[in-house]
Amino acid sequence: MSDNKSEKNERKLTAYERWELPHLENNQTDTHSGPALLVDKTQFEPTTEEVDQDSLVYEPLTASQLEEIRSAAYEEGFIQGEEEGHQKGHADGFAKGEVDGFEKGHAEGHQVGLEEGLSQARVDAEAKLAKLEAILAQVVDEIVAPLESSREAAESILYHSMMRMVENVCLAKMAEDGQTVLREQLSKVFDEIGEFQGRIKLRLHPDDIDVLDELGVKSRLSIQLEEDDGLMSGSFVIDSKSFHVDGRVEQRLEVVFDELRQLSLPEQN
């Protein structure tokens, strides 16, 4: 029981109260110098009796003991501070790194996503544009090809229409003034012949025989007249050993048609 009480009284003294700097100049113990270790000089063996407080003597700590206590306290505080600082630094660094990493990752992800979106949009737009251009080109071909064939067909129709018009006009003119036209044509031919000494064979439509009498060339030319029902009124054919003149209306129309055909060739090329 006394031992428990003694231990209880001894535990009431803190370590700080037991710390005392040594007296380096005086080796005498100062009983009132401050807190120190309690040493019972009267008894050195454990006993169950109560310890008299008056018999307790405070012994001051030596320099080595004080240095050991200070070193232990310093190391304990250093270790504890290092651990707490490490934990706090790790927590703060992790929190800040998490925030910074999130913001940086968010910004980089946004930029990368934006660039990828723009690139994909550009690729899609180019693909759609190429498809649209192909469709437009096909539409143009479908429009131009029929127009080209239609143009050629229209030119052909126009050419044949012009031939029919020329033919109809010529035939109408010959029906009205066939003998007048025949007279003009024969007069030009005979003027070109002049005083030809050879025999001339002249074929005319039966209705045009009187035209030769009106020209008055029988006295100076040796003309053999033949009637030909196969000729159109206003037509003539002259044959001799030296020359041949085809004055048929069909032949004259063919000459006109050839001229029209030659005019249409540059446009077709």
Query: Is the distance from CB of 110 to CB of 117 less than 8 angstroms?
Result: no
pTM for this prediction: 0.39
CB < 8 Å & 24+ apart, contacts of 167-173: 167/253, 170/249, 170/252, 170/253, 170/256, 171/249
pLDDT value, residue 21:
53
Tell me the backbone φ, ψ of residue 35, rounded to 5 degrees: -65, 145
pLDDT band at 264 (very low <50, low <70, confident <90, very high): low
Q: In the prediction, which pLDDT does 256 show?
A: 80
The set of long-range contacts for 168-175, using a CB threshold of 8 Å and a minimum separation of 24, is: 170/249, 170/252, 170/253, 170/256, 171/249, 174/232, 174/233, 174/234, 174/249, 175/233
**Residue 233, token pair as written in the block:** 């009124």
For residue 21, what are the CA distances in angstroms to 56, 61, 224, 230?
20, 7, 175, 164
User: What's the rounded Cα separation, in Å, for the pair 116 and 120?
Assistant: 6
Mean pLDDT across the chain: 74
**pLDDT computed for residue 259 by the predictor:** 81
In this predicted structure, the answer to whether residue 230 has a pLDDT above a threshold of 80 is yes
**Which of 51, 66, 60, 257 is CA-nearest to residue 166?**
257
DSSP state of 53: G
pLDDT in tens, 165-185: 877 887 787 777 778 888 888
pLDDT at residue number 268? 47
For the cut 50, the answer to whether the pLDDT of residue 269 exceeds it is no
- Within the chain, what is the greatest distance between any pair of CA atoms? 199
Please state, in angstroms and rounded to a whole number, the distance separating the CA atoms of residues 141 and 231.
52
Per-residue pLDDT tens over the stretch 112-159: 888 888 888 888 888 888 888 888 887 777 676 766 667 777 778 887
DSSP 47: -
The structure tokens listed for 48 are: 């169950």
Sheet holding 199-204, edge to edge: 222-227, 199-204, 236-239, 244-246
Token digits for 231?
Answer: 């000729």
Per-residue HEC secondary structure of 198-242 comes to CEEEEEECHHHHHHHHHHCCCCCCEEEEEECCCCCCCCEEEECCC
Binning pLDDT at 50, 70 and 90, where does residue 12 land?
A: low
State the Rg of the chain over Cα: 72
